[in-house]
A and B are shown apart, each in its own frame.
Chain A
Amino acid sequence: MTPVLAIARRELRGYFVTPVAYVFMVIFLVLAGLLTFYTGDFYDRGLADLQPFFDMHPWLYLVLVPAVTMSTWAEERASGTLELLFSLPVTISQAVLGKFLAAWGFIGICLALTFPIWITVNYLGDPDNGVVLAGYVGSWLMAGAFIAIGTCMSTSTRSQIIAFILTAAVCFLLLLVGQPQVLDFFQDAVPPKLIGAMGQLSITRHANAIARGVLDLRDLVYFFATIVAWLAASVVMLDLKRTR
């Protein structure tokens, strides 16, 4: 087994050793359901699709992903096991990737467990299941971007709480920057091209496309690029901490 898989497996198992993972899952599922039905006007829209469900995902991830990622590196540093891990024949990239995959897999499991809502919409109407699947894939990719950000923040500190707050703050900023109100606010001060770029940087815009079930190549590239960039930053961060 490659070191990446060994690390990913250990981490994923680690989530389920404590009740925290189960508590987290329950909260995720309850919130996903509640937000969809109450805030998302699931019934009143009269449409057989899952757009209200996926619309809520960025906000769900904003709170829940930092809770998953905060411990990944911060705890390793605080408990001294980082020294053990880095004395093994494993590159920093492999370790970062392994831990990322574990967290991503965990969110994937949570996402898969929302299947009753998919059954519901199929029972009530006749949705385009291709669009629903695209929505799930897109949502999972978005979660990956959040996790990569969380990973990077977790490498920068030994305190899990600081890692949580930093992650939530950065993710919130990335969500906020694409909101029409924010873009309008900058309208007069910033050239239109830059406004466009700001919009493109935002998770919101790409998430909206995903919620509609449109898997545009540009959105895929955006999320993959975000994941790679933040993971690369994590590797650099961990390497820097070895020299300081």
Chain B
Amino acid sequence: MIETDRLTRCYGPLTAVDALSLRAEPGQVLGLLGPNGAGKSTAMRMIAGFLTPTSGTAWVCGHDVRKEPLAAKRALGYLPEGAPSYGEMTIREFLVFMVRVRGLERDVAFRRFDEVVMRLELDEVLDQTIGTLSKGLRRRVGLAQAILHDPPVLMLDEPTDGLDPNQKHSVRMLIDAMARERTILISTHLLEEVHALCNRVAIIANGRLLADATPAELEARSRYHGAVSFSAPGSGVSREMLARIPNVSMVEVDPLDGRVTVFPRAGQPILDDVQALLRTQNLEVSEIQLERGRLDEVFRQITTQRGGQA
């Protein structure tokens, strides 16, 4: 479990993290989402015990990071931003060092080492010097280090940043596989990642928590939520007729590809009505879609409007 209580960090006059209160339970993957410079990394660094909070505190598995830092750190696996590691060591030496510093029992250490190497597919490169590795491999080494001691809490700062699509996919599979009994906090500025991984999202900007909800709840805030869009090539769809459907608030036609989007009045289902209308008018529709909502739009709306006021 991770909990923060009015966690605050100032750099001189700048408040990087402003009274951030969060809570993530086992089984949850909480995504810290925010524009660059929002304070995601600073918040994580405080939870990891690298930075001291200016005020407020955080708990990892019930251990206060200010009062019992060692207990908190033992329960935590942390991948810092950019996955730093000792470039002059081989992967094997690096992982062995981590085992020793963490003081794992010998038999546990062997088992965990083998398991981590297998999970992250590092067996063929174990004796390569970390400094010579590609970015993707280095990230995997960082992840290996973070899960080596089988921690109940994982905190990953931009785990897929700079990886190619295949690597992103495998890292997400890994996180997904570990998510069941653990508490996982990831930071990202990629919206696709939220869809792929998180069951809760905390949006922060300028160090402040602006939203804390499930991805679906956030999507529901989008004006696209529940909208119906379709392409009807070669037929002039009458916008007026669509707009006359009782629960429709607005109709938009994309000037480029002619795709029609019909927006509902708040929370009203309109798919059946639109489909019925299209059938009675005998309109050829190539593809029709019920929109779930657009996270990018919600994200922009939350982080620019309310962040701007702050």
Is the C-beta of B266 less than 8 angstroms from some C-beta in chain A? no
Is the C-beta of B85 less than 8 angstroms from some C-beta in chain A? yes
- Chain A 1-14, CB within 8 Å of chain B: the 1/0 string? 11101110110011
Is the C-beta of A88 less than 8 angstroms from some C-beta in chain B? yes
The answer to whether B45 and A3 have CB atoms under 8 Å apart is no
The answer to whether A87 and B70 have CB atoms under 8 Å apart is no
Give the distance to chain A from B112, nearest Cβ to Cβ, in Å.
15
The size bracket of the interface on B is 20 to 34
Q: Which A residues are CB-close (under 8 A) to B74?
A: 89
Q: Which B residues are CB-close (under 8 A) to A5?
A: 100
The answer to whether A81 and B101 have CB atoms under 8 Å apart is no
- Assess A14 versus B102: contact at CB under 8 Å? Given A87-B50, A242-B50: no
A83 to B76, CA, bound (A): 14
Q: Which A residues are CB-close (under 8 A) to B93?
A: 10, 13
Give the distance to chain B from A186, nearest Cβ to Cβ, in Å.
41
CB interface residues, B 98-117, toward A, < 8 Å: 98, 100-103
- Assess A87 versus B86: contact at CB under 8 Å? Given A10-B97, A243-B52: no
The answer to whether A89 and B78 have CB atoms under 8 Å apart is no
Most chain-B Cβ atoms within 10 A of its Cβ — which of A82, A86, A91? A86
Q: Which B residues are CB-close (under 8 A) to A79?
A: 84, 87
Is the C-beta of A84 less than 8 angstroms from some C-beta in chain B? yes
Q: Which A residues are CB-close (under 8 A) to B264?
A: none
Q: Of the candidates B50, B88, B103, which one forms a contact with A86 in the assembled complex, judged by CB atoms under 8 Å apart?
A: B50
Give the distance to chain B from A19, nearest Cβ to Cβ, in Å.
12
CB interface residues, A 1-46, toward B, < 8 Å: 1-3, 5-7, 9-10, 13-14, 17-18
- Assess A87 versus B100: contact at CB under 8 Å? Given A14-B88, A81-B85, A242-B52: no
Q: Which B residues are CB-close (under 8 A) to A13?
A: 93
The answer to whether A80 and B88 have CB atoms under 8 Å apart is no
Is the C-beta of B35 less than 8 angstroms from some C-beta in chain A? no
A9 to B93, CA, bound (A): 11
- Chain B 58-75, CB within 8 Å of chain A: the 1/0 string? 000000000001110110
The answer to whether A90 and B101 have CB atoms under 8 Å apart is yes
A14 to B94, CA, bound (A): 11
CB interface residues, A 94-135, toward B, < 8 Å: none
Q: Which A residues are CB-close (under 8 A) to B69?
A: 91
The answer to whether B88 and A87 have CB atoms under 8 Å apart is no
A83 to B48, CA, bound (A): 9
Q: Which A residues are CB-close (under 8 A) to B54?
A: 243
The answer to whether A86 and B84 have CB atoms under 8 Å apart is no
A73 to B69, CA, bound (A): 21
**B interface vs A, CB < 8 Å?**
11, 45, 48-52, 54, 69-71, 73-74, 76, 78, 80-82, 84-89, 93, 97-98, 100-103, 145
**A interface vs B, CB < 8 Å?**
1-3, 5-7, 9-10, 13-14, 17-18, 79-84, 86-91, 239, 242-244
**Could you jot down 18 A-B contacts, CB within 8 Å?**
A1-B103, A9-B100, A10-B93, A10-B97, A13-B93, A17-B88, A18-B88, A81-B84, A83-B45, A84-B84, A87-B50, A88-B73, A90-B73, A90-B101, A91-B69, A242-B51, A243-B51, A244-B11
5 more CB-based (< 8 A) A-B contacts, given A79-B84, A87-B49? A14-B89, A81-B85, A83-B80, A242-B52, A243-B52
